Amino acid sequence: MQQKRYFITAIGTDSGKTLISALLCEALQADYWKPIQAGNPTDLSTVKSLVSNPKTQFFPSTYALQKPASPHDSAQAEGLQIELSKIQIPQTENALIIEGAGGLLVPLNEKDFVIDMVDNWQDSNVEIILVANLYLGSINHTLLSIKELERRNLKVKGIIFNGNSNPESEQIIAKHCPFPILFHLPFLDKPNQSTVAFWAKAMQFLGE
């Protein structure tokens, strides 16, 4: 049986994809890969600093760009163009956590967006986890992201809320969301290996 592959995307740039990716790597002892990195310090280095299990392997980014900007902008600054065909899932016998860049419709080049990577991997059994934090305006951003995932008919594992709770926002999103609400991670101030290991235990159900 093929191991789980989860693509971690979000409703925005600072919604908590990297922290959720670290938690899932710890919970599932899964490998980690961020296909496109723009800026330093890298999310790869952050996840490495938070994961403590001995099994997780860390794969290098296909595109490791320096400018902290939208991938299409960052690539242009280096005289590059991101090509979907070059972004191939690493070979591993382990479960794999794949972290996206920004939200679904962050541009990679003049025609492709972040979510097009998953479209390009349709035969690879990749399921999407959407991370939503609960700021003013997040209902609209979350429901728009959900509508885009529905429109593309992609495999979606569910939604993870991240950060301080907002019950009214959570309930209205859940009411209009066809996907499961998987988990709510409370705000973690300066997460470290200990806090990641603690909360990872509560997320082990995702390996089922």
Q: What is the CATH number of the domain that holds 37?
A: 3.40.50.300
| Residue 73 belongs to a domain | no
Q: How many structural domains comprise the chain?
A: 1
Residue 58 lies in a domain: yes
Answer yes or no: is 76 within a domain. Answer: no
**pLDDT confidence of 117, banded at 50, 70, 90?**
very high
**72 assigned to some structural domain:** no
Identify whether 79 is part of a domain. Answer: no
Is 77 contained in some domain? no
Per-residue pLDDT, 116: 97
- Rounded alpha-carbon distances, angstroms, from residue 68 to 25, 81, 82, 102: 25, 16, 15, 11
Range of the domain at 12: 5-65+85-207
State the Cα–Cα distance between residues 151 and 138, nearest whole angstrom: 20
- pLDDT bucket at 84, cuts 50 / 70 / 90: very high
In a domain, 70, yes or no: no
Q: What is the pLDDT of residues 22-78, one digit of tens each?
A: 999 999 999 999 999 999 999 999 999 999 999 999 999 999 999 999 999 999 999
- Given pLDDT bands bounded at 50, 70 and 90, which one contains residue 208? low
The one catalytic residue among 4, 34, 48, 55: 34
Token pair of 3, please? 């191991």
Average pLDDT over residues 135-159: 97
Domain-embedded: residue 97: yes
Residue 175: active-site member: no
